[in-house]
Amino acid sequence: MSRLDGPSGLMAPLRATHPQARGSRAIELTDLLGRPAVNLDTPELQRFLAGKRVMVTGAGGSIGSEICRQMMRFCPSRVLLVERAENNLFEIDRELRERWVGADIKPCIADVCDGRRINQIFQTHKPQVVFHCAAHKHVPMMEHNPCEAIKNNIFGTKAVADAALAAGTAAFVLISTDKAVNPSSVMGASKRVAEMYIQSLNARIHAQGGALGTRFLAVRFGNVLGSSGSVVPIFQKQIEAGGPVTVTHADMRRYFMTIPEASQLVMQAGAIGKGGEIFVLDMGQSVRILDMARELIRRNGLVPDQDILIQFTGVRPGEKLYEELCTDDEQTRPTAHEKIRVWQLSPADPAEVSRGLEMLAQAAEAGDRQAVAALRRCVPEFHPDGKPAVGSPPTHGLRLVPADAQAA
């Protein structure tokens, strides 16, 4: 299985273990990208992180833990590890302490939805930089639990962002997803609302002339190779078990990044962002999942459809065949970094966002059906099961759609 090691977050290769494997070799995850890996390590990160108090929420997760590993190279003055899963927090805390002896590391068990606890951490430690990684991310799981997606992805983000603003944090970076683009899933729609909320906070600060206020920004990226629950570790386990390897659809395509790439992009965005932006990495062409499955079987020294069968299981609820992480000139604009662009999305009206959040809070307490309906009203481009809401305006801003205009 994949793991991360070393201060630079290098990806250790997968090792073929199938008993029939012939001529197996180490499998580098970067070989599955279909493009050269992107390295965004620049002196700007040193200026951004050196000597700063840095908080990472979801610090025990795949992205959060790698951000912790990567940023330790830039000598932050204090690292706050915020995580609700005790075992995950224990592991990343121990790893960092063993590798960076003497570093000021504070493990904080906390649920981001617990506003009182989050405020306590902020007021005690006054973090200057926040990377908000904590989220529910699995599309099918959130289709079954839409109320929890709203509570964690939207109101958890709100709790951390509000605490950052109150504590005078300099930079707040939200981890978002390509699934927030014209979302077909509850997860994608919930992350889109989270984006809109932090953009509205940034717009409010700007309107008040707060040049020294918190810079709120977001980073979107595609699927992460080797992360917990991602496709490559799942395929590898299926290969080791003798198959079959399960693929949802022959035409399913996704954009992919390595965990180090994703983590570096997040840090880089925080360094270059002025506030209000939604950054995206140019990840090249999307990769067909079927091709990835076959390549992984071959790299285990086996023959696809002979040694290991491939089975098609059907598209799951909330999934698209193609994600829409476009980087063309019409939808995005360039930055100083060749591989990073910024989505041209106008911030939603703060008053409209507040009304939307009130509706979502009530819906999340009422039940799953009401939760999905509320998300559709708040995110006009949200089209579960490929059915866009009737009369949905072609906009990326939050504009409440009348309840009687929703498609059945």
**Active-site annotation, residues:** 179
Q: Which amino acid is at 8?
A: S
Query: How many CB atoms are located within 10 Å of the residue 124 CB?
Result: 12
Token pair of 28 as six digits:
């580098």
